[in-house]
Structure 1
Amino acid sequence: MKRTFISVAVAMVSVARCFSATLGEDPRTFPVLIAHERGTGSGCLLRMSNSVYLVTAKHVLFGTNAPALLSPIARLKSYSRAGTTNVSARTLEIDLGQLLSAGEVRFSTNRDVAIVRIEECSSNDVNIVSYLPGITFLSPERGLQIAAPEVICPAKDVDVGAEVFMFGYPTSLTGLIREIFDPSEPLLRKGIVAGINLGKRTIIIDCPAYFGNSGGPVIQIEHPALNQTRFRIIGLVSGFVPFQEEWENKTMGYSHLIKSNSGYTVVEPIEIALELVWK
């Protein structure tokens, strides 16, 4: 695939950031809502290799037709306390078409993971950043809650039976209760790691996911010491495991297949995102 690299002079600016290696006081600050004309999904912001990336499921941005984008423009909403005393929403628009042409959007060809580079950090101070061309803030506050590299948990450290939090924006559910709950607010679920196949690099959690959860981060709860609790991201929601039930009427010669949510969810290991950074 031919890549076009765009050279643009960008002034470095100092912006209040919050790089966190813990879950934080307000869990709303971890997931990101991704909305475009074809739907919604979830993601998170990670600092990797001195840049800030939006990390999400590939199908949230591309559907099943990568490298063709579902929409050239997406809007992100996240919560942060950076630069303020209270947690508030931060909204920005990203020109995916421009970033893709510049080589700043990368995706796995055989896994459901995509990354978008949105900021570059100064080599001297990660709090000094330059926004890439194609990034436009729509909110007055620009401080973002960015997860530090220390929160990344490799698949070999994922423990079967460990408790996990699933973060995201299941708009297919919250849209049904918009009279009492804002669909643009995240919802958390808690479950466990049900199984892991290191050979196939697949993680299964016992925690139901719904449309809108795709791309959201899954956090493992760890206790490295008696009085210590640590939270690390093990992967991204890819989709639910379906339960299939089929009945057949042999007399009439027809059958009916019913698919429902089994309550299990497939998670793509977060280290695949790291591999895309170094691709």
Structure 2
Amino acid sequence: MKEEGLKLAVKLSNEKGRPIGSGFFYQDSTALYLVTAKHVLLTRIGKRTVPIFRKFNIEFFGKEQSFKEKSKVEINLEVLVQDSKYVRFNEKDDILVVKIGDLKENKIQHPDVIKLPLGKFGPEVVYYTWLKKFDEINYGSESWIIGYPESLNLVALNQYNFEVPLLRKGIVAGKYSEKKTLVIDCPSFPGNSGGPVFNSSRGRGNRFNIVGIVVAFIPYAERWTNKQFNIVNTEFSNSGYSIVEPMDKVLDLINE
């Protein structure tokens, strides 16, 4: 994968600059959108879904920027979430689409709460022709996740550049038709949520396609019992499998 592919993943951070997840930009003929996992930015309180943060940042590498420089955009989520035109989600899927702006005369028209750099500092984006839908995805096909697994970040060890997204490879292990989700044999960690998932198949000339977003890892449980004191303890660990919401659902939200 070339450098441009890695740049598709953006880092999301809160008002204090603390990393909270990953995402990517999607562009159609009318507008530019941010796509991520719903739980990264919204939470459920009673019967209402509300923002976790008043504002958040999108950090990304521009089209002509090196991995030594980065652009940042502040999003006023508290304002945007009041209008379904700008913030789109539903209750059953872990997907969030934030409309960044409309496209007019090849330029992005932004609301006052969003200031996005353009030109060489503008972001790499995903287009419709890059997508592969749920029914087109084959079992066993190779897949990659890109994102910012900040839970791996042990700064003192200085083992890798925390500002550059990491790539991880697996395969499509399962398709859950009832929920229309994918299972990939690829571990994900806190910080990966919302990041893009790529897929490749030899039948399409080894071309990369975007198939969805990472939303969760599948845990497995280990239980031990202390018979003397009748204590049962359960520990949950990362199984190495991850759940992916397909691009079909993202498009459904955009086209509402």
Q: Same fold (TM over 0.5)?
A: yes
Whole-Å Cα distance in 1 between the matches of residues 78 and 29 of structure 2? Answer: 23
User: Which residue does 2:76 correspond to in 1?
Assistant: 95
Residues 106-141 of structure 1: CA deviation (Å, up to 9, x unaligned)? 11211100000002112xx5x322122211348996
Whole-Å Cα distance in 1 between the matches of residues 241 and 156 of structure 2? Answer: 24
User: Which residue does 1:46 correspond to in 2?
Assistant: 26
Once the two structures are TM-superposed, the CA of residue 94 in structure 1 deviates from its matched residue by 0.8
Q: 2:126 aligns with which of 141, 147, 158?
A: 147
Q: 1:36 aligns with which of 8, 11, 14?
A: 14
Once the two structures are TM-superposed, the CA of residue 25 in structure 1 deviates from its matched residue by 4.2
User: Which residue does 1:118 correspond to in 2?
Assistant: 100
Once the two structures are TM-superposed, the CA of residue 41 in structure 1 deviates from its matched residue by 0.2
Whole-Å Cα distance in 2 between the matches of residues 234 and 141 of structure 1? Answer: 27
Gaps of 5+ in 1: 1-22
Does the residue aligned with 1:80 lie in a helix, a strand or coil?
coil
User: Which residue does 2:223 correspond to in 1?
Assistant: 246
User: Which residue does 2:37 correspond to in 1?
Assistant: 57
User: Which residue does 2:109 correspond to in 1?
Assistant: 130
Say if 1:140 and 1:270 are closer, same or farther in 2 by CA, change over 3 A. closer
Does the residue aligned with 1:63 lie in a helix, a strand or coil?
strand
TM-score (structure 1 length as normaliser): 0.82
Whole-Å Cα distance in 2 between the matches of residues 266 and 137 of structure 1? Answer: 31
More displaced 10-residue stretch of structure 1: 32-41 or 99-108: 32-41
Does the residue aligned with 1:28 lie in a helix, a strand or coil?
helix
Whole-Å Cα distance in 2 between the matches of residues 32 and 111 of structure 1? Answer: 21
Residues 228-265 of structure 1: CA deviation (Å, up to 9, x unaligned)? 33111111111110010111123311111011100000
Q: Identity rate of aligned residues, in percent? A: 32
Gaps of 5+ in 2: none
Whole-Å Cα distance in 2 between the matches of residues 52 and 178 of structure 1? Answer: 38
Residues 173-194 of structure 1: CA deviation (Å, up to 9, x unaligned)? 0344663433222111011101
Does the residue aligned with 2:241 lie in a helix, a strand or coil?
strand
User: Which residue does 2:207 correspond to in 1?
Assistant: 230
Count of aligned positions = 250
- The reply on whether 1:183 has 2:165 as its aligned counterpart is no
Whole-Å Cα distance in 1 between the matches of residues 197 and 156 of structure 2? Answer: 24
- The answer to whether the 8 Å contact 1:163/1:193 transfers is yes
Whole-Å Cα distance in 2 between the matches of residues 49 and 167 of structure 1? Answer: 25
CA RMSD of aligned residues (A): 2.3
TM-score (structure 2 length as normaliser): 0.89
Does the residue aligned with 1:259 lie in a helix, a strand or coil?
strand
Once the two structures are TM-superposed, the CA of residue 79 in structure 1 deviates from its matched residue by 1.5
Say if 1:174 and 1:26 are closer, same or farther in 2 by CA, change over 3 A. farther
Whole-Å Cα distance in 2 between the matches of residues 204 and 67 of structure 1? Answer: 26
**Moved segments of 4+, more than 6 Å:** none
**Counterpart of 1:99 in structure 2: which amino acid?**
L
Say if 1:64 and 1:170 are closer, same or farther in 2 by CA, change over 3 A. farther
Say if 1:189 and 1:212 are closer, same or farther in 2 by CA, change over 3 A. same
